[in-house]
Structures are given as structure tokens and as C-alpha cells.
Chains A and B, each alone.
Chain A
Amino acid sequence: MRAWRWLRENAVMIVGILALLYMLTPIFIIAIFSFNDPTGRYNFEWVGFTTQYWQHPFEITELTSALEVSIRLAFFTAIGATILGTLIAIALVRYQFFGRRAANLLIVIPMATPEVVIGASLLSFFLTLNIFELGFQTLLIAHIMFSVSFVVIVVRSRLIGFDRRLEEAAQDLGANAFTTFRKVTLPLIAPGVVSAALLSFALSIDDFVISNFNSGAEVTFPLYIFGANQRGIPVQVNVIATMLFALTVIAMLFVIIQQRRAEKAGEIRPEEETHEATVPITV
């Protein structure tokens, strides 16, 4: 009877955890196979345990440089898309203006477009325009393009939930528009902005189809893997994927610990307690 009650009270959490397990299962498999010791070049079947590939994760220079390109690209994409998208989100939530619906539509359509179409049309465009050299530049342009819409949606949902009176109060106290934005608006929407940046980083680092068209001779991490798949994916790919995952987990734990400390400090000096814990990945 008690067990039943416990189950009922925690049903949502149990389902939630099961769903998370479902999402993480492939990552466990990837991590497990990063310790595999395949006899040949295919890493599909479990052969034996080794840490040899963890000792030399960056042995394959093409792989390492592809990873480097991807991280650099995702970083700049996150910055560019977040700035452009946040500005649009502010305009759409805060202002009534002529052309608002059209702007909304323009943001939705890219998400309704098959990736192949975006990739191919952009390539023809770049070549016709003949200003940009195919490579990092064109990849960056494309990635910012397809990430902006997601940023708008994420930041926007955060903006809608926020109390405009805070800004009005600041302005009443004599702050100009820029100061108000910097001191009031930005901190309040920061969680949304950070999660938007993270999402665009993730979208960028995972993109294959659009990149494939516009990469020129640049090779990103997904492009490398796709190619390597033709001859057997090296174990190092699993190692690096696992590392990326582990690094982000560690970063997250670090943020959480920091947050706890801040909360503790807040208990001692209640006047400094923020109205809401800073949530780094809140959408």
C-alpha cells in the first residue's frame, strides 16, 4: 500500500527518468565502445577492453582538426545567432509595428524547409554571388542562418514571462534605454539567452546536411565521421564524442556547485538573494 502511494506520487519522476535514460542510451553505448579493442577497422562488436584509444585520443590529425573546426564554428555560430536572434525576439515581444506578422513568418519558414533544400540553394547563391570563398565563412553564414530561428523562439518565450514594470521602474529612476537594457533586461533574460546560445552551439556541432554543401574543402566533425564511415569509424571518434559529453557534464556540475554556493551566501545575506536562481539552461 505504501509502495503504491510512493509509486503514485513519484510516477511523473519515474517516467521522466525513463525518458532520460532513453535519450542517453546511445551515449552509453558510444562510451562503452570507446573502450573497445577491435581487431580490424570496424568498431561494431565488442572484442575486449582497452584504454589505448583514451591514451591517444588526438592521434588522428584529420579527426582532431575536424573537431577543432567544428568547435570554432559552433562557438562563433552561437555568438552570432544569439545576438541576432535576441534582438529579433526583443523587437517581436516588446513592440507593435508594421510588418510584425511578416517577420514572424520569416522566422518560422526556415524551420519548415528541408535541410537539403537550404544546403543546395545556399550553395548556388554563394557561387553566383562569388564574394565569399567556400569554407569556414560560408559554413558560419549558413549555421547562423539556420540557428537564428531557434534562438528567437527560445529567448522569446523567456521574454514573454517577464515583468515589464521592472524596466519602467528603471526608466522612471532616470536610467536611459541602454542602461536599462544592460542592468535590468539582460540579467532577467540571461537564462534564456544562455540556453539559446547552448542550443545553437549544439545545432551547429551536429549539422551535417547543410554543412556538406557549403563546406568547400573544410571538414567538420560530422563530415569527418560520415566519410570515415565508409572505411570504418576509428575508435577515437567514440573517445572524442564521449569526452565532449563528459566535459559538458563536468561544466554543468561546476555551474550547479557555484549556484549552491551562491544560494548559501544568499542565506546569510538575504538582502542579496536573487528572486530566482540563475538557471543556465532554461528555455
Chain B
Amino acid sequence: MTNIKMKQIRLLVLGVLALVASLVLVACGGGGGLEGSDNSNVTVAEGGDPTGSLNISNWPLYIDGKTISNFQNETGIKTTYTEDVNDNNEFFGKVQPLLSQGDSGGRSIIVVTDWMAKKMYDLGYIQKIDHDKLPTVFNHLIPSLQHPSFDPDREFSVPWQSGMTGLVVRKDLAPDVKSINDLFDPKYKGKVTMLTEMRDTVPLVMAADGIDPVDASTQDWLDAIDKIKKASDSGQIRRFTGNDYVQDMAKGDVVAAIGWSGDAVQAQADNKNIQYVQPEQGCSIWSDNMLIPVGAPNPAAAYKFMNYVYQPEVQANITQYVNYVSPVEGVKPILEKRDPAIANNELIFPSEEFVKNCFNQVSPPGDEEQQREVEQAFQDVVTG
């Protein structure tokens, strides 16, 4: 082998290394959304002329088949409706790096649950909304949702749909389950599940022990988590689940669970024995909210869409399909004519009596660090 050959090879290797090195430098230059952020410079989404296009990210099967095309036909706004929110945490993991750079990925509306909305807002990822541009929304928003604790004046969030977290039981197999504490009854050992979402599970367990979740201390949260941990270690709790508890329940593998009202409504169509039971000590009420993220193109179209879906006639179509609690006033009378079964369902149009003990979904108290400690403790139980 001659020197020339070796030189050429070395040159090639060096070339590749140089390329790699330069890319490493590029990679290290930015932070990929890890520089930290706050909401000190939140802006209000501009109005303006609502033409052009609109991108919406929502949860799957959370709208009926006609609303989007009707909206397009009536307003001429080309709407791309994407069902890419599967889970608050996963969605956050996916969009956080973008949002931290002031980019919404082309989305003008995203839909997430209360606590996540608050978290995003605190990080400065969400724009404020202008109430003057949302007349239909604020004329029809039901009173119970006008002043939630996470956004008392609805400065940045507009509810999409609401629901309750409580007990879902097999009436035939566990007829006497009335309270969250019944889930800890040895009679149902290995036939009970709880949700992996801490904010759904832990407050209900606290409430069952007589602690008001709304002003519970960090220690109260940790105590409740400890109680759950004991039940988990002893085999009392079968699994921690997402929505998949419905399948376990349809089979009878699980007879009682902490679950969502909307699931129960839909599962009933398949199996009459699957029922939602309002826990004696109350339920947790939550909403998924429409938000306008930072860098959202065409916020005017976003306003237009929010107003559009708050028309009772339009909302009735959505409620009829989705079967969750509608945040819009005036839907019930429409559905009474069209579909009385839905209009008279307490899980879709809950009476005041039905939800008298319920509270709005809460997060652990304290700053980010304390919240994370609680979240970690709960996750250590779930992934124990």
C-alpha cells in the first residue's frame, strides 16, 4: 500500500469527521426547548379578518362528522382538523419543544384538560383570549364553568366538553359499591382498577377519607398515595389504566373502577350492567379546553370557530355524538325533541343535585418542585 492511498483514506475519514463535528456544534447550539420559560410576556390573540385556513388539534372521536364541513361551507375558512391529542402528557411532550420556541406547529387551536391548560399557560405557551371577539361563547357558556379555579376569568381557555371522574361499576357483579372506599374492600381483591392520571385518582381517594381535595396539603396527597400503594402491593388493585378499563369491565375481569362518565355512557350501549355511580363523597369535574397557542396563525379564524361551536344547534350535534357534558347553554331543549334519551341522561346533563358534592379537578398544591414530588410518588406506585 502506498502513502498516497493512505492519504486519500485519511482525507475521507477526516471529511466525515468534520461533517459530524459541524453537526454536533449545530446540535449543541440550541436547546431544543430546555432553556426554561415563564409567562411574563403573554400576548392577547389578535382578531382581524377570518379568512384563509385553520388548523385544530383535538382528541380522537371528539366531534361529530358534520360540524367541520358545515363550518367550512358557512365561513369559507379551510379547516384542517387533526385528532393528534391522545394524552395530555404525551401531547405536551410532543409540542413543548416547539411551543418553547414560540411556534405552534401551524396549530391555531389545541384542546387539553384544565391542569395541562394551566401548565402551558404558566410556561407562556398560550395566548390570552379577547372576550369581545367571543360573544357567542360567553353568552352561552354554562354558569358552573365560568369561573374555574385554574382560570377564574376564562382569560385563556374556552371549554370544549366536560366530564366527571367517579366510579364505574358492574351493577350485576358489584352492586354495593357506592364509595371510593369500597374499592379497598377485600371482597373485590384483584377486581379493581384505578386511573394512571394522578389528578383523577388521588383526589377521589382523599375525598373518600374526608379530606377536601381543594385545599389538601402536600402531605394529604402523599398519604392518599401511600394508601393506594398499599392496595397496589397487596394485589387489591389489579392495574392502573387509561381508558382500557372499559374492556376489562366488559369481560367482568374488573367489577369496579375509577373511571370517566363519558366512558360509562358509551359502554352502556354495549352492556347495560356497566354503570356510572356517583361516589358518596363526590366526583371530580374536569373540562377539555380550546386554547390558542403562541405563534398560532390566523387567530381570527380560531375565534370564529369557537363562536361557531357555541351555537346551541351546532353544539347539539356534537353532544349527541360525543355524550360528554356540554359546556353550552340551550342544548338540552334541542335534544329533548331530537333524542330524549340523551337529554334526560344525568351524565350528559347533570342536575345540580347530582353533582352537589363534586369539585373541580385539582392539582397538588405548591410550586412546580413540590408538584413534581407528588407526581413522582404517584408514578412510583404506577410503575412499581
Contacts and interface: CB of A to CB of B under 8 A. Distances in A.
B62 A231 contact: yes
B94 A123 contact: yes
A10 to B, nearest CB: 37
B289 interface: no
A44 B32 contact: no
Contacts of A42: 246-247, 250, 266-267, 270
A226 B85 CA distance: 10
B143 interface: no
Interface stretch (A76-84, A124-132, A243-251): A124-132
Given A40-B270, A213-B93, A229-B243, A224 B251 contact: no
A36 to B, nearest CB: 11
Interface string B10-32: 00010000000000001101111
Contact of A217 (B34, B84, B244, B262): B84
Contact of B251 (A44, A62, A127): A44
A230 B90 CA distance: 14
Given A41-B266, A230-B61, A130 B30 contact: yes
Contact of A230 (B33, B60, B80, B251): B60
Interface stretch (B70-78, B101-109, B119-127, B223-231): B101-109
B83 A227 contact: yes
A38, A42, A230, most chain B CB atoms within 10 A: A230
A215 B267 contact: no
A62 B83 contact: yes
A128 B27 contact: yes
Interface string B53-89: 0010101111000000000000000001011111000
Interface residues of B, number: 45
Contacts of A98: 9, 13
B105 A128 contact: no
Interface residues on A, range: 35 or more
Contacts of A128: 26-27, 29-32
Contact of B250 (A44, A130, A224, A230): A44
B351 interface: no
A216 interface: yes
Nearest to A232: B266
A44, A62, A231, most chain B CB atoms within 10 A: A231
A15 to B, nearest CB: 31
B271 A45 contact: yes
B242 interface: yes
Interface in A211-237: 212-213, 215-217, 219, 223-224, 226-232
B376 to A, nearest CB: 17
B29, B62, B242, B246, most chain A CB atoms within 10 A: B246
B240 to A, nearest CB: 16
Contacts of B31: 128
B384 to A, nearest CB: 19
A127 B106 contact: no
A99 interface: yes
Contact of A228 (B33, B61, B80, B84): B61
Given A42-B246, A129-B27, A213-B93, A231 B266 contact: yes
A120 B93 CA distance: 8
B42 interface: no
Nearest to A230: B243
A127 B98 contact: yes
Nearest to B90: A212
Interface in A171-223: 212-213, 215-217, 219, 223
Interface string B260-297: 00100011111100000000000000000000000000
B108 to A, nearest CB: 12
Given A41-B269, A130-B30, A223-B84, A231 B93 contact: no
Given A123-B97, A124-B97, A125-B32, A230 B270 contact: no
A213 B85 CA distance: 12
A40, A123, A212, most chain B CB atoms within 10 A: A40
Nearest to A131: B26
A120 B13 CA distance: 30
A38, A212, A215, A223, most chain B CB atoms within 10 A: A212
B26 A217 contact: no
A39 interface: yes
A45 to B, nearest CB: 5
Interface string B347-362: 0000000000000000
A228 B82 CA distance: 13
Given A212-B86, A230-B59, A231-B262, 4 more contacts: A125-B27, A127-B33, A224-B60, A232-B61
10 contacts: A40-B269, A41-B61, A41-B269, A42-B246, A123-B97, A212-B90, A213-B94, A216-B105, A217-B57, A229-B243
Interface of A: 38-42, 44-45, 47, 62, 98-99, 120, 123-125, 127-130, 134, 212-213, 215-217, 219, 223-224, 226-232
Interface of B: 9, 13, 26-27, 29-34, 55, 57, 59-62, 80, 82-86, 90, 93-94, 97-98, 101, 105-107, 242-244, 246-247, 250-251, 262, 266-271
